[in-house]
Structure 1
Amino acid sequence: MKTLDEIDRKLIALLQDNARLSTVALAKAVALSRSTVQERLQRLEASGTIAQYTVRLGSGGDPLRAWLLLRYAEGFSCDDVVPLLAPLPQVRLAHSVVGDTDLMVLVETRSPGELADLRERVMGLKGVDDVTTVPVLRTVLDRL
């Protein structure tokens, strides 16, 4: 069996993300002709490297919600941090509060991994000193 090269690995990664990608789309992604990609896929299938194409079920559309409880760094305020949060599409709501937490931010993501990535991104924003993540298990009352 031929050793996998970087293009083979990229094709496999693309198919793992979306097994329905067309050969044309795969060819564009790796900058090769459609026929060359098709030959590579046939080789990967024949060698058993690609065993099957499958469907991975999603969460059914229910978002993962969580509260991010932010504390500002010394000398920063709501006016500094909120404009940095506003462009993030996962941010749904923000409340300025008093106490150990300075800002409560409701976020919606598609997965725990996306939530972890978002949390790290928010933690890296200028003016944010600390982030506590509180996942929402279920909403028991919503009058908004």
Structure 2
Amino acid sequence: MKPLDAIDRKLIALLQDNARLSTVALARAVGLSRSSVQERLQRLEKGGVISQYTVRLGSGGDPLQAWLFLRYAEGFSCDDVMPLLVALPAVRACHSVAGEIDMLVLVQADTPAMLSEVREQVAAFKGIDDVTTIPVLRVMLDRG
């Protein structure tokens, strides 16, 4: 199977958010025709990336996860940064916190290079002063 591209990752993220989205809605969201989206979904299913529509990532290997600890630049807040984070399909969760850091962001990627790319995108956002990356080695408990 060929490597996942940005559209494949966007389709997966959309289905993870709502596995009941119609092919037409998915096509509209990624700017492709319905038939192109159907072909991509069939390829993802045959390749084992989508194993069922609860959506679970399949035999493509366990995705990599990392927590990004963000500190805002002076004068910026969660409200400034959230629209930028929501636009990234790799962002799986965001938590506003108090203390030395301002936000915890859970990101997921297929390869270390993709993880690095996401981290660099976030670090380049206007309003972000510092990013510390904490890779997840093993998930010991996830009740979510």
**For the superposition of Structure 1 and Structure 2, which TM-score range results when normalised by the shorter chain?**
0.5 to 0.7
Give 1:82 shift: 0.6
1:89 aligns with: 89
List per-residue Cα deviations over 1:15-56 (Å, max 9, x = no partner): xx7xxxxxxxxxxxxxxxxxxxxxxxxxxxxxxxxxxxxxxx
Q: Which letter maps to 1:115?
A: L
- TM-score normalised by length of structure 1: 0.58
1:3 aligns with: none
Q: Which runs of 5+ in 1 are unaligned?
A: 1-16, 18-58
Give 1:61 shift: 2.7
1:99 aligns with: 99
- TM-score normalised by length of structure 2: 0.58
Which secondary structure state, in structure 2, belongs to the residue aligned with residue 115 of structure 1? helix
Count of residues paired in the alignment: 89
1:35-114 pair list within 5 angstroms:
60-114=60-114
Structure 1 segments, 4+ long, off by >2 Å, are none
Give 1:143 shift: 1.2
2:129 aligns with: 129
Identity between Structure 1 and Structure 2 (%):
63
